Chain A
Amino acid sequence: MSLVSQSVRSVIWRLLLALLGVGALLALEVWQRPERPCPANAVWSGPAAPPDLATLRVVDRGPIPMPAGMAAAHASSLLAMPAGHAAALTVFWFSGDRESGPNVQIAASQYLRATHQWSPARFVVNRFVAGPQLGFGIRRLGNPVAWLDGQGRIHVFVVATGGGGWAASRVLHLRQSSTGNGLEDLAFEPVRVLPLSWMWNTSFLVRNAPLPLADGGMVLPVHFELGIKYPAALRFDRNGDFKGMVRISQRPFLLQPSLVMQSPTQWLALMRDERPQGKIGVAHTADGGAHWSDLPDLALDNPDASVAGLGLGPGQMLLTHNPSNTSRGTLDLSQSVDGRTWRTVQTLEHGAPQDEFSYPALLWLDGSLWVSYTVERERLAWQRLAPVAATTKGQP
């Protein structure tokens, strides 16, 4: 009897000690964590009084300068520079001898306010430099996505592969290390590979622009693509610190989400569909990205190709997409009031079915819509559209 009671007493003591230890650890855990972010509220990308989108017309267009001797270019990302900066915007993309080639680097060019010209392109991220800085190798570089944080520093999120092809991709987060962000000075240092999955963070890719938030932070859309696909949204604070991940859709064929704001807390994710005969997929959140639910596909065809959306103001949404099941030969700009019904505003490019005008990026800046996209995976092109009433050629 005494043996039993001694044993019970021992278990109770151990339990008490364990609970005390766990409690102390829990307190330490909570104490050392940063403050939780407030609920996400997105901010409009467009002007306070958005224009009539139906009147948007192309007012300027051309090629973006390529780095010398590079035969491949793809996946551009547009970034608005702060007011007063010599450049109105910066474009980032990957370039090399071929897609997934060993010499692929991240290139950038800036559109200068003074000359209304693009500056000569320059490589700003090199895997042979970023790898040793991280401490481990990077096999290949891919899509970049740029963002300006609350302190005016540029962050670039880059697809960086481990041991394998695109399915072995990770998202590498780099932060501006140079004092200035003029193109000549621009330099980056790795922050980390984003911790997105237990399996060596494998098979997460980034493609589309982040959605800016009122707190100075942003939500970055990413996707998983090893076998099955799924999109996810990552939250960052105004300093560019990672705050967590929420899955966007349960459908295993949707990727490369583009976040479009309908109101500060209601957003759409418009997505590429990898199925044959695919349509643009949609998911919706009504609580600032805390929860997402799938919506029926749009009526718009999708040839397993990236789309880019933008919310300029209430009931004013824009979308750039390839309006076909089978070809990337045509690139359209469409507008919508409700996010469900879309109407073509402009055909930006119209080529033969075997041509490719793909991976568009959108940006509203200084009263104009800027579009950049890949041409034949060899070079990049850009267009500037403005409401016809306010057209002034060459003025960004």
Chain B
Amino acid sequence: MNAQLNLWLAQLLATDAPALPTALAMQIWLHLGWSVVLASMGAGVVSRYWPGTAGRLELRHWGTALVLALWTWVPGPYSPAYWLGLVFQAPSIVAVLLCDGLLRKRFLASRSAPAAVHEPNRFRLSLALAGVLVGWALLLDTFALLPMQLYAWGFSPVAVALVVFGALLPWLAGRSPRHSRWWMLPVALLVFVAVRLPSGNVWDAVLDPCLWLALHGYLLRAVWRHYTTRSVG
């Protein structure tokens, strides 16, 4: 019984039997992921500098998003995914879901009413802070400055289970406000378990270095706003 339990535990902790995605799946994800990220960023930039009429879905907004998304699917060096992949590899599932959420919010809101601006709240800031801290730990691990191999641990089943459990904590505590998109992390993990993208490692699925840098920006902006508001008050 003990031997069987030990075997089961070893299986859960094992980092030497990773399930990796196929070459085809990785290539599809590279194009899909960057097409969503670029469409969201393009639409964001255009609507910031050419906002258009409130409540109307402007051609230049969805046109930009559509053109960028389609351009990403061009094969070979004519695709932005080819060059983005060269430097940044593929985006994480969470980054793609966040960009998809932003894109849909922008378009759905522009059909009905001006998009509601959700100021950073404590819940979102906590999630961003957790992402920033995990990213720092992974960066230190990249330089072998941690006593354990954190990235390699992301190939084990138990890492996936713990990250899923952590992602469900806001829901467990009943502290998942509406519009917070707290469900993105569990959904990203479900997608990861099903298709192993982008690399077979759970850390690559939930956080990529670009998203990590963006979270720094989000937190710094919140801190800046907090202090400037206080000093004005």
Contact = CB atoms under 8 A, between A and B. Distances in A.
A243 B89 contact: no
A226 B144 CA distance: 11
B152 interface: yes
Nearest to A191: B23
Contacts of B19: 29, 32-34
A131 B30 CA distance: 13
A197 B151 contact: yes
Interface residues of A, number: 56
A230 B145 CA distance: 11
B152 A132 contact: no
Nearest to A40: B16
Given A14-B171, A192-B26, A22 B164 contact: yes
Contacts of A7: 174
B30 A135 contact: yes
Residues of B contacting A: mostly: helix
Interface in A8-22: 10-11, 14-15, 18, 21-22
A250 interface: yes
A16 to B, nearest CB: 10
B233 interface: no
Contacts of B187: none
Given A34-B17, A135-B31, A191-B23, A162 B139 contact: no
B76 A132 contact: yes
Contacts of B149: 245-247
B189 A25 contact: yes
Contacts of A235: 16
A394 B193 CA distance: 56
B172 A138 contact: no
Interface stretch (A45-53, A100-108, A198-206): A198-206
A90 B85 CA distance: 32
Interface in A128-166: 131-132, 134-139, 162-163
B164 A135 contact: no
Contacts of A37: 16-17
Contacts of B85: 134-137
A29 B203 contact: no
Contacts of B17: 33-37, 243-244
Given A163-B87, A197-B142, A230-B144, A25 B23 contact: no
Interface string A94-135: 000000000000000000000000000000000000011011
B28 to A, nearest CB: 9
Contacts of A167: none
B160 A195 contact: no
A86 interface: no
B88 A200 contact: yes
A303 B136 CA distance: 35
Given A26-B157, A198-B138, A243 B16 contact: yes
A396 interface: no
B64 interface: no
A91 to B, nearest CB: 27
B1 interface: no
Contacts of A18: 165, 168, 171-172
B82 interface: yes
Interface stretch (B7-15, B36-44, B122-130, B218-226): B7-15
Interface string B58-94: 0000000000000000011100011111111100000
A193 interface: yes
Nearest to A244: B16
A242 interface: yes
Interface string B142-184: 1110000101101101101100110010011110000000000
B143 A228 contact: yes
Contacts of B173: 11
Nearest to A245: B152
Interface of A: 7, 10-11, 14-15, 18, 21-22, 25-26, 28-30, 32-37, 131-132, 134-139, 162-163, 190-193, 195-202, 224, 226-228, 230, 235, 241-247, 250, 252
**8 A-B pairs closest in CB distance:** A136-B85, A137-B86, A163-B87, A29-B157, A135-B27, A244-B16, A198-B138, A195-B199
29 contacts: A7-B174, A10-B174, A18-B165, A25-B161, A25-B189, A33-B18, A33-B19, A131-B77, A132-B82, A135-B27, A136-B82, A136-B89, A162-B86, A162-B87, A162-B89, A163-B86, A195-B200, A195-B201, A197-B142, A198-B138, A199-B138, A200-B87, A227-B143, A228-B143, A230-B144, A242-B20, A245-B149, A246-B152, A252-B144
